[in-house]
């Protein structure tokens, strides 16, 4: 599938995969977004996302010519932005939960780093965090062979401005990539890593394999059909968050082909 197009552009049920992490950032109050892309795919991303203005956002693209890892994004950020804190989300991670949007707006203090913990049955497939009795992180292990913790670290993080200096302390892993877990370890060593356990009822789906992609599509389908509400719909999120006017929403609708997705937007109150 990814020989044809980038993974984040593959559909999850009725919309591109990237719409889900995009709307998570929107709910978190992020309005300026850098998307790290393979140079060969930038035209496809621009055709789907544009410059973000149609959703009240500012979207720019950073080119990563080789797969140098998630943490390489800190090297790509323009220098004029390196005095600010940032949020990082993986393009194949889907989050869903009642009240999640509200909590994301207030959960980060602006200091140190923040990551989440989510209990899974297969911790050896993920980076995991070991917690003490009161929920503080004491160790981070990448894909442990022996189970030290069942709390995986989902692909959503916050970092203060220190990340742009700390990235120079990280060495590539055996696969030649700069790992985001190594960045979290540096903050942990400074006692500046905060871990929040995702509340029960919150869903986290990693869509990085065909099996997980199908599971995510089925999950979105069931929720949308039962609730009559869309997940990961940037037009609706932008309108509900007050980022665009009713007239801009209508303009966005008119640019869409006739579809169930368009009909849903036409019926928004």
The mean per-residue pLDDT over the stretch 8-31 comes to 95
Whole-number CA gyration radius for the chain: 19
The mean per-residue pLDDT over the stretch 101-124 comes to 88
pLDDT of residue 147: 83
Helix (H/G/I), strand (E/B), else coil: 194: strand
* Percent of the chain whose predicted confidence (pLDDT) is above 90: 81
User: Residue 230 pLDDT > 80, yes or no?
Assistant: yes
Helix (H) or strand (E) holding 151: strand 151-152
134-175 pLDDT per residue, tens: 889 999 988 888 888 999 999 999 999 999 999 999 999 988
User: Residue 108 pLDDT > 80, yes or no?
Assistant: yes
Give the Cβ contact number of residue 99 at 10 Å: 10
pLDDT of residue 166: 97
Helix (H/G/I), strand (E/B), else coil: 144: coil
Rounded CA separation 70/183 (Å) = 10
First to last CA, the chain: 37
Q: Bigger pLDDT: 70 or 200?
A: 70
pTM of the model: 0.93
Query: What average pLDDT does the structure give for the chain?
Result: 93
- The candidate with the shortest Cα–Cα distance to 101, out of 238, 221, 207, 213, is 238
pLDDT of residue 104: 87
54-79 pLDDT per residue, tens: 999 999 999 999 989 999 999 999 99
Contact 10, 1 (CB under 8 A): yes
254-269 pLDDT per residue, tens: 999 999 999 999 999 8
pLDDT of residue 133: 86
Domain 7-233 part of CATH 3.30.300.30: no
User: Residue 99 pLDDT > 90, yes or no?
Assistant: no
**Domain range list for the chain:** 7-233
pLDDT of residue 46: 96
pLDDT of residue 169: 96
For strand 86-89 and strand 137-142, is the pairing parallel, antiparallel, or unpaired?
Answer: unpaired
User: Residue 27 pLDDT > 90, yes or no?
Assistant: yes
119-142 pLDDT per residue, tens: 998 888 888 999 998 889 999 988
SS3 for 80-108 is: HHCCCCEEEECCCEEEECCCHHHHHHHCC
The mean per-residue pLDDT over the stretch 170-188 comes to 94
pLDDT class of 90 with cuts at 50, 70, 90: very high
Q: Where are the alpha helices (DSSP H) in the chain?
A: 19-27, 42-49, 73-76, 100-106, 163-166, 180-189, 210-227, 234-240, 246-254, 260-266
Rounded CA separation 129/195 (Å) = 9
């Amino acid at each position: 599938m990814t020989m044809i197009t980038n993974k984040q552009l593959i559909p999850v049920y009725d919309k591109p995969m990237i719409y889900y992490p995009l709307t998570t950032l929107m709910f978190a109050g992020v309005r300026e977004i850098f998307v790290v892309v393979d140079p060969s795919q930038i035209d496809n991303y621009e055709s789907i996302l544009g410059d973000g203005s149609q959703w009240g956002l500012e979207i720019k693209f950073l080119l990563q010519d080789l797969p140098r890892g998630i943490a390489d994004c800190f090297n790509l950020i323009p220098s004029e932005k390196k005095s600010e804190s940032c949020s990082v989300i993986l393009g194949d991670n889907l989050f869903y939960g009642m009240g999640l949007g509200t909590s994301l707006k207030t959960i980060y203090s602006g200091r140190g780093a923040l990551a989440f913990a989510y209990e899974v049955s297969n911790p050896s497939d993920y980076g995991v965090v070991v917690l003490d009795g009161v929920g503080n992180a004491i160790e981070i292990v990448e894909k442990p062979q022996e189970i030290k913790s069942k709390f995986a670290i989902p692909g959503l993080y916050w970092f203060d401005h220190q990340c742009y200096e700390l990235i120079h302390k990280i060495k590539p892993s055996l696969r030649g990539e700069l790992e985001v877990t190594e960045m979290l370890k540096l903050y942990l060593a400074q006692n500046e890593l905060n871990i929040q356990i995702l509340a029960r009822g919150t869903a986290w789906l990693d869509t990085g394999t065909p099996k997980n992609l199908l599971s995510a599509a089925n999950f979105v389908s069931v929720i949308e059909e039962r609730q009559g509400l869309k997940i990961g719909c940037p037009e609706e999120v932008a309108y509900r968050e007050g980022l665009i006017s009713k007239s801009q929403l209508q303009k966005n609708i008119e640019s869409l082909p006739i579809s169930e997705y368009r009909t849903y937007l036409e019926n928004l109150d």
